[in-house]
Amino acid sequence: MTLLALRGLSRHYAGVIAVDRVDLEVPARGVHAVIGPNGAGKTTLFNLISGLVAPSGGTIALDGADVTRLPADARARLGIARTFQNIRLFGAMTVLENALAGLHARLSASFGAILLGLPRFRREERNAVARAREALALVGLERRAEERAAVLSYGEARRLEIARAMAGAPRLLLLDEPAAGLNPAETVTLASLIRVIVEAGTTVLLVEHDVKFVMGLSDSVCVLNFGRRIFHGTPADARADPEVIAAYLGPPPAGPAA
Amino acid sequence: MSAVPPWLDDLLWTYRNVVVSLGVNGLLALSMYAVLAAGQLSLGQAAFMGLGAYASALLTLRAGLPFWAVLPLSPLVPVGFALLVGGPTLRLSGIYLAIATIGLGEVLRAVYLNLDVLGGALGLSGIPESAPLWLIFALLAVALLAFWRLGRSRIGRAMEAMREDETAALAMGINVRRYRLATLLASAALAGLAGALSAHATDFIGPNDYGFEPAVAILSFALLGGVGSPLAPVLGAFLLTLLPEALRGFADLRLVLNGVVIVLAVLFLPRGLLAWRMRRRAA
Ligand SMILES: Nc1ncnc2c1ncn2[C@@H]1O[C@H](COP(=O)(O)OP(=O)(O)O)[C@@H](O)[C@H]1O
Ligand SMILES: [Mg+2]
């Protein structure tokens, strides 16, 4: 079953075609990767999917429903969550409050219930805090709950962004270079975290530079070059594809050709 | 009518204007807080206050409505204007919204000055002093409590998230446009209420009471106090209301004082006097 379908998706900037008529079907479940050289249009593609940037052409469908015209917040409410290449946490808020912000769309207590402090609102807040704490536990940040997000280390901040995105139990999680800047141990932890997320039923679409990381983790790979999709298939096939090798992977290590 | 001891009654009578200003400025500080807390800089608070004041005066003087009907009706006028400017200004952000709302204040001042029905340069006088002191402070307390409660819910979290990072807030599913409009409307309503109360506590209103100077004064309440909690701007308002009274002889220095406070607060107290930040959850 297809969770996300992009058809002829394009985004033009003055002088640059960042994303050029990309077709892509992302099945529900599993890890799917978008790779490509710097400037290939990977982040722009994520911005198009999450609705932060409007397409110059093409359509985006989530679970069969056209969401091309929906603003970013409406798409988030439909279950598209994301992290950012350059981390964007709410620095003045605590770690727990960041995770709670990720639950925003799941809370429904009315204005009046909040003003009057009705039991219905208090119960919902208690449940929300419990769920937010679970999301923090998932990434190992439960003990930092009451600290300001701004004091977290780089690796912790990356994990909090994932917890915040996961708090609302999204259908599709977009991770933009989640391993960037992580040390090897943190990268291993991240890979197992992504496996846990996928096990729990969230589909992961990720942009990553670390080819080894991507190849070991992903069920499918989409390769972009100058905004165009030049490959879509299994990681093994990507490794063998001449165009992908020329554009991105580079020649295989010296030795007898396969 | 009141059970207040005579000495307090005397005190309140002597300092009635100051006490009224405390309550009214407290409400204005919360009106400023409503927009700042969501990361918007509006300078329309004085203009909204003026609309509430003029609306209430006309409803009392010309339409002859009783005070209890005038009070809830008057804020509707600034709310209507906020809706009107809300459409275009909500597409503006940062400094552009500030400029657009300053523009609103200046346009309205010209309107008050040139419309005879609004008293022109003389303003409107003979407004009955029907706003009791207790009511002003009761409304301030209710507004404070409301902001407190909302601040510790998803609404307060959404507003702070918008202030911190609008793009990330959108990605959380926060309807940023709706929150912007709602906070602007709430801000206009509170300022309008403050205007109606002050008009009915002082008997006179004039076209120059709601221009650029009071707009800046209201901003300085929040700059001095901070926006870490709704208590902070109210504290700022109280201090900036009492300080000039303590420096009675230097009445001319009021404006200078506000300017100095803004500069000092920005330089040395970026988070205000009451930097303490309220918790954003109720559980
Ligand atoms: N807001 C923008 N304005 C102009 N050009 C942009 C903008 N965003 C991205 N681009 C351009 O689009 C291309 C793709 O960028 P990006 O999507 O960030 O690539 P990637 O994430 O693959 O490194 C680049 O040439 C970049 O300069
Ligand atoms: Mg990128």
Atom number of ligand 1 nearest to Cα A38: 23
Structure tokens at A254: 């010296």
**What is the distance between the alpha carbons of residues B115 and B184, in angstroms, rounded to a whole number?**
27
User: Would you say the CB of residue A39 lies under 6 angstroms from ligand 1?
Assistant: yes
Short-list A128, A169, A77, CA closest to B169: A77
Could you tell me which residues of chain B have a Cβ less than 8 Å from any Cβ in chain A?
A: 146, 149-150, 153-155, 157-158, 160-161, 164-165, 167-176, 277, 280-283
The answer to whether B199 and B56 have CB atoms below 8 angstroms apart is yes
Tell whether the model's pLDDT for residue B4 goes beyond 80: no
Nearest by CB to residue A82, choosing from B161, B171, B280, is B171
Q: Can you give the three-state secondary structure of B85-117, one letter per residue? A: HHHHHHHCCCHHHHHHHHHHHHHHHHHHHHCHH
User: What is the number of the ligand closest to the CA of A180?
Assistant: 2
Structure tokens at B274: 């009451």
Better pLDDT: B219 or B89: B219
Cα–chain center distance at B72: 16
DSSP result, B215-277: HHHHHHHHHHH-SSSTHHHHHHHHHHHHHHHHTGGGGGGHHHHHHHHHHHHHHH-TT-S----
Task: List the domain boundaries for chain B.
Answer: 16-211
Contacts A49 to B, Cβ<8 Å: none
CB atoms within 10 A of CB A186: 17
What does pLDDT average to over chain B?
Answer: 90
Q: Predicted confidence band at B83 (pLDDT cuts at 50, 70, 90)?
A: confident
Span B15-39, pLDDT tens digits: 888 999 999 999 999 999 999 999 9
Span B109-121, pLDDT tens digits: 999 999 988 999 8
Nearest by CB to residue B157, choosing from A51, A81, A100, is A100
Instruction: Please determine, for the modelled complex, whether the ipTM score is greater than 0.85.
Output: yes
- Work out the minimum CA distance from A162 to partner chain B, whole angstroms: 12
Kindly list the averaged pLDDT for each block of 10 residues, start to end, along chain A of length 258.
Answer: 97 96 97 95 98 98 97 98 98 98 96 96 98 98 98 97 97 96 93 96 93 91 96 92 85 51
The answer to whether B258 and A73 have CB atoms below 8 angstroms apart is no
pLDDT value at position B265?
80
Nearest by CB to residue A101, choosing from B161, B167, B176, is B161
Tell whether the model's pLDDT for residue B1 goes beyond 50: no
Contacts A105 to B, Cβ<8 Å: 172-174
How remote is the CA of residue A52 from the centroid of ligand 2, in Å?
A: 14
B39: left (phi over 0), alpha (psi -120 to 50) or beta: left
Mean pLDDT value of segment B206-213:
90
Mean pLDDT value of segment B176-190:
94
pLDDT value at position B88?
67
E strand or H helix that includes residue A250: none
pLDDT value at position B149?
97
- Work out the minimum CA distance from B226 to partner chain A, whole angstroms: 14
pLDDT value at position A127?
98
Contact state of A115 with B167 under an 8 Å Cβ cutoff: no
Contact state of A52 with B161 under an 8 Å Cβ cutoff: no
B282: left (phi over 0), alpha (psi -120 to 50) or beta: alpha
Nearest chain B Cα to A161, which residue?
B168
User: What is the number of the ligand closest to the CA of A42?
Assistant: 1
